[in-house]
């Protein structure tokens, strides 16, 4: 069982036992907007309708459609020649995720 510790004082997020006090929001320097779940989405998560049951059954698949599955990149040949130690990936610049449309056009097959 995890030891109960106080929440982060600036943002109120839950904290694990060995996380430092400023770990979550950099001691109040980072502010995230709180977005309320829409009523429609709440009903899909908590409801008992046929539509909600289908959603709950497939929610992991829906979630996985929005995660990174591959990255196209140019690699640094010097850093990739190392044959010892831990391999790491350094990202500089903007990262984005391309996903095809969720509902394909008539006659088209889904690609994701």
**pLDDT tens profile 80-90:** 566 666 666 77
**Rounded CA separation 37/25 (Å):** 22
Tell me the pLDDT tens digit for each residue of 1-10.
778 888 888 8
- Cβ proximity of 21 and 9 under 8 Å: yes
Give domain limits for the chain: 1-35, 39-80
Placement of tokens 């044959």 in the chain: 83
Q: How sure is the predictor about 55, in pLDDT bands with cuts at 50, 70 and 90? A: very high
Helix ranges (H only) for 1-112 are 39-46, 50-64, 77-80
Q: What is the pTM of this model?
A: 0.41
């Amino acid at each position: 069982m995890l030891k109960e510790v106080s929440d982060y004082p600036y943002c109120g997020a839950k904290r694990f036992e060995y996380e430092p006090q400023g770990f979550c929001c950099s001691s109040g320097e980072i502010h995230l907007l709180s977005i309320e779940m829409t009523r429609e989405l709440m009903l899909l998560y908590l409801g008992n309708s046929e539509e909600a049951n289908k959603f709950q059954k497939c929610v992991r698949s829906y979630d996985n459609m929005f995660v990174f599955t591959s990255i196209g990149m140019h690699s640094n040949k010097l850093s990739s020649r190392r044959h010892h130690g831990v391999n790491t990936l350094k990202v500089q610049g903007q990262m984005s995720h391309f996903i095809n449309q969720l509902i394909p056009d008539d006659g088209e097959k889904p690609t994701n």
